[in-house]
Amino acid sequence: MISVLWIVCWIFLADSSARSCVNIATFVPVGEPGAICCPQKSSSSVQASDNVTWYRNGSAIPITRDTYSRIHQRGDLLWFNPAHMEDSGLYQCVGQNSTKGEKQLMVFNNSEGFCFNQEITYLQRLFLHNSGKLTCPDLDYFKNESTQLVLQWFKACYPGLFEDKRFRASGESLIINEPSRNDEGIYICQATYTHMGILYNVSRAINLTVIVLPQKIPVEIMYPKNNSIQVALGSSIVMECNASAGIENSVFMDWEFPDKYVPQDKPKKYIAISPSGDQILGNKFNISKVKEENYGQYLCIVWSFDSEPVAAYLMLERPVLNLQPYLIGGLVPLAFILLTALVRFFRVEIVLWYRESFQPLISKGVSDGKLYDAYVLYSQNIANCAYSMNIFVLKVLPEVLEKQCGYKLFIFGRDDLPGQAVVTVVDEAIRQSRRVILVLVPDPPYCSMQKPTFETEIAVYSALIRDGIKVILIELDKIKDYSDMPESIKYLQQKHGILTWKGDLSEKSQMATTTFWKNVRYQMPASKCPPSSCFPLLPLTFNSSPISEG
């Protein structure tokens, strides 16, 4: 419980520069005053009109507006003067138009032997040997209530901070000249606040980290590389430019087209952040039907304010006519076409038969150092479709691919250890996997992956740039429209195709020899244990009603 609370608090308190009323919780030290705002209100001013009513969760009795009461409503805020441990809980605000909002209050004790709680701090950073300042956060409400806001600073819980001349107080900030690694640690800013003649302390614990000023990374175009593409008249093509740059660079990217061609659709630009912290920029446009005027040189230019522009071209050319098939003539081309069609039509069956028949030869001496056959990526922040997604990912996939086929999967939420850094676990697990299985769900929008998560960005970065890992896309029922999907998902769908699951929880749908699972196995690496010699199908122990399809 403590480790989970620390993660939630760190995320909530990490950005101390913004005042927002959409945060999930408010944290107040026991014995100190605190205030919570109504998420339905856009204004943070305590002077706003009294147009909301506060209730403790589960109670129908409004909280008093009597300012002499320890807990009372003043303006749009709910005040605790001071906060007690038993005040922790959920509070509800109701507006005049019946709109409702909820805020969680968490009152915490200081760690034993300290004047602060080590798990609930405001994270702030300074650059090594570059003078900067720490700012005492979340004092807006108290500034509006009192003009006598006096601020003191301490290193951990001890006075004497200003004996070091590098430290200097300025308003609500602490100036630190030439910070070093020795300056890292906890800093306490404490203000005094008076309410109804009673003096209170308002304290905040800031966790200072001193980091090295990053060096600017030069802009580099990853694609195109002054290459050409042969495209036939009437066909379609997507022209794309990709570049990388340091996160601190202000980078711009654009296409220059042939004089005789102007694209009908505006080029689409996008920016992603790689796990290493670099910017990945993209700019692409689509030619739906290639015409004569489309042929020529397309120049991609990338530049920033403090560096020279770099450019690379992509040449769109007419395909070279190959006369050899006509010269060979006869039945040879026809036989070749028929053989190719048969192989393509039965390619899945042929590959699976080959793997199973020559399994000892395929696996003998082959070792790529990977720990997992596939990393399973799916959205865990979904509502109505969570049941079908969780059953498919946590029950059906392991039943078929692990138990019947002998594959080893990494499923986040099942195989990670509590307390591990999420980004590190995901990045390392994907590095150690031969495939990435990406599970998508159809409408409604809140059941889809329209908002890319850091897991998606890491997987796409590995698939496109870093490792070239293959992605297997699986949709739970047919997704009719991909227009709102992230560009990365649409690109992977175009490159690798997509498999549609329309099964239920019957034994037939969970057999590795069905068409759907054959196609999945075809895109997976060769298994060390084919279905004919591995574990038999075991019945699932939960309700066997059909999977909800969104």
Q: Which residues are catalytic?
A: 455
* Rounded Cα gap, residues 322 and 356, in angstroms: 39
Q: What beta strand segments (E) does 293-379 contain?
A: 296-304, 307-317, 372-377
Q: Which helix (H) or strand (E) holds 119?
A: none
DSSP string, 452-502: --HHHHHHHHIIIIIS--EEEEEEES-----TTS-HHHHHHHHHH--EEE-
- 433-440, strands of its sheet edge to edge: 409-411, 372-377, 433-440, 470-476, 499-501
What angle in degrees, to the nearest 10, is found between the helix axes of 347-357 and 331-345? Answer: 70
Structure tokens at 169: 């107080």
Residues in contact with 427: Cβ distance below 8 Å, sequence separation at least 6, in sequence order? 275, 458
Displacement of CA 261 from its chain's centroid (Å): 38
| Beta strands 237-245 and 89-95, pairing class | unpaired
- Residue 371: CA count within 13 A, CB half-sphere: 9
Residue (of 109, 90, 117, 110) closest to 36 by Cα position: 90
Cβ–Cβ under 8 Å, residues 391 and 385? no
Cβ–Cβ under 8 Å, residues 108 and 13? no
